[in-house]
Amino acid sequence: MSRAEKRRHTPSPLQPLLNEAMAHHQAGRLQEAEQLYQQILRVDPDHDEALHYLGLLAYRVGKHDQAIELIGQAIQQNPRNPLYHFNLGVVRHKQGRLDDAIAAYERAVSLNPQHAEAQNNLANAYRDQGKLDQAVASYRTSLRIKPEYAEAHNNLGVALKEQGRLDDALTSYEQALNLNPNHAEAHCNRGIVLKEQRKLDDAIASFQQALRIKPDYAKAHHNLGLALLWQRRPDQAVVSLRQSADLQHNHGRPIHETSVPRSRLKHDAEQIQYLLDRHRIPRSHASYLVALTQLRERAARAAHTSTRLMIGKSELAGIAPSFNRILHYAECPTLSPGALNPDLDVDSIETRYHATKPEIMYVDDLLRDEALSSLRQFCLESTIWKKDYENGYIGAFLGEGFSCPLLLQISEELRVRFPGIFKDSLLNQAWAFKYDSELKGLNIHADAAAVNVNFWITPDEANLDPARGGLVVWDKEAPRDWNFKEYNNEKNEPKIRAFLQSAGANAVTIPYRQNRAVIFNSDLFHQTDQFTFKDEYESRRINVTLLYGNRLTA
């Protein structure tokens, strides 16, 4: 009999201490809990429960490697406790180690076949891997064990929705809400399905109910914004989209030691200087510029072995109030004459789009001059660029700051003006990327939409190689049975390129031009072409992407 088994059968003098530690833990008094767990381990270094709970405490404060080590030690002492394997899976899942998480959840299920939560988490991991059939099967197993499990009903709905089974997904969400009427996520997910079914009044009601339950629910604000846009209520849509962005960014983080891309430090320092010079933000933000400049100087002195710079707590204090906050939105109103160039030849453009199979074409002079200038100024001035990428570009997404009345006007005018291209596809996502002059752009990928519009807004004088700098699109669609993680993951590039080679795909290269839009089938793999732009803030390459429709229903 192991020491853990003996402890279960024999009252332990350490049990009162463990109970006290757990009470502190549950109440959020983590320091007191940790001290007591450590006190137990000094008496009994192999105490599996103390090791396990100390591991959970480490997980709670973000120390995932330490959590895995401690829970692993608990498992060594008591390998037949399903809870330990379950929580090991939770930590591995959080780290993105999906295969390891699945192995841990499967071990928990083998030890306790009635562990509904482990089946649910196993299904979540399968879904994150894109293995939707296995995910659905595991969710259904969880619900056979525990039919009243509202979270599993909601999660099953998500998997069914990703399979394109909207009516089945709706049924699952409604079952979750019958069990838990205050399940904000189920209300939001129900709204997303209703939105895609074009039942916009019902969708908006679901999003609003989610927000009554959880006012700070960014996802619900984002989707409410899209539904309002689809109802042609752009002013209200912008309000909801910006509420989503404020909830995600205006929190004063980061507060812990972290690593930041050097390219992000460079961009933010240049942008804050640009805004201060033009009196767009108060002089009180000059201290943020000083902190960024000091970090850039330290990065310049450091060995260039990494694209990132590790920043400690003391340095973070100088940038935390501003780094993840949206300090300024530039004005970017709608234009009464319209945003698109009135001289665009609709019949010719639609004919050219459908003349190529699959569809790839470009249009020059997309926007009126006033629209191009206003949108460009919005991108230069608005401090919305919070999404960092290792290649050196930074992004802003529709529900994370890249929302203004003019952008929504452009997206809607495109759809209405070119019905032969967009048919009944509505805007689902939009983003913009800014690029560092010295680094790369997006790697090869496809998008989860029906039609992709990609246009460029930086002046041509900034482009030092007019023959390049645009977009490369391959003329073969992503396989229909590939999931999002397969066709939109840069780590999957070898598989994508192998597919393109075996399919005999040809690359179509469209050179960069300001106000040029590339319109193409979103199933097509594409990547940023090689580019060389002037190393100046106003010369950064900026592209805007609009995604219409859904890949599964296109």
Give the least confident one: 17-31, 194-208, 244-258, 417-431.
Answer: 244-258
pLDDT band at 11 (very low <50, low <70, confident <90, very high): low
* The pair of three-digit structure tokens given for residue 491, joined into one six-digit string: 């780590």
Question: Could you tell me which of 226, 200, 203 has the C-alpha nearest to residue 411?
Answer: 226
Mean per-residue pLDDT, 490-512:
90
Give the least confident one: 117-131, 252-266, 411-425.
Answer: 252-266
Supply the pLDDT for residue 251.
64
Supply the pLDDT for residue 1.
47
Cβ(294)–Cβ(309) under 8 Å? Answer: no
Q: What is the pTM of this model?
A: 0.89
pLDDT band at 243 (very low <50, low <70, confident <90, very high): very high
Supply the pLDDT for residue 481.
79
* Residue 151 scores a pLDDT above 60: yes
Lookup result for tokens 């970090």: 295
Residue 100, classified by CB atoms within 10 Å of its CB into exposed (0-12), middle (13-18) or buried (19+), is middle
Question: Could you tell me which of 521, 516, 477 has the C-alpha nearest to residue 362?
Answer: 516
Q: Coil, strand or helix: which one is 514?
A: coil
Distance of CA 367 to the CA centre of its chain: 29
Mean pLDDT value across the chain: 92
Q: Which amino acid is at 164?
A: G
In sequence order, the 6+-apart residues with CB closer than 8 A to the CB of 121 are: 86, 89, 90, 93, 101, 105
* Domain spanning 3-249: CATH 2.40.50.100: no
* Residue 47 scores a pLDDT above 90: yes
Q: In what order do the strands lie in the sheet with 507-510?
A: 507-510, 471-477, 524-528
The continuous run of DSSP H or E covering 230 comes out as helix 218-230
Distance of alpha carbon 185 from alpha carbon 183, whole angstroms: 6
Where do the structural domains in the chain lie, given as residue ranges?
3-249, 258-323, 346-548
Distance of CA 370 to the CA centre of its chain: 32
Residue 283, classified by CB atoms within 10 Å of its CB into exposed (0-12), middle (13-18) or buried (19+), is exposed
Cβ(288)–Cβ(308) under 8 Å? Answer: no
Mean per-residue pLDDT, 429-453:
89
* Residue 3 scores a pLDDT above 70: no
309: which strand partners? 260
Which CATH fold topology does 346-548 show? Jelly Rolls (2.60.120)
Mean per-residue pLDDT, 394-402:
96
518 phi and psi, to 5 degrees? -100, 125
Radius of gyration of the chain (CA): 26
Give the least confident one: 90-99, 330-339, 483-492.
Answer: 483-492
- Work out the number of other CB atoms within 10 angstroms of the CB of residue 491: 8
Distance of alpha carbon 546 from alpha carbon 526, whole angstroms: 15
pLDDT tens-digit readout, 375-389: 999 999 999 999 988
Supply the pLDDT for residue 5.
57
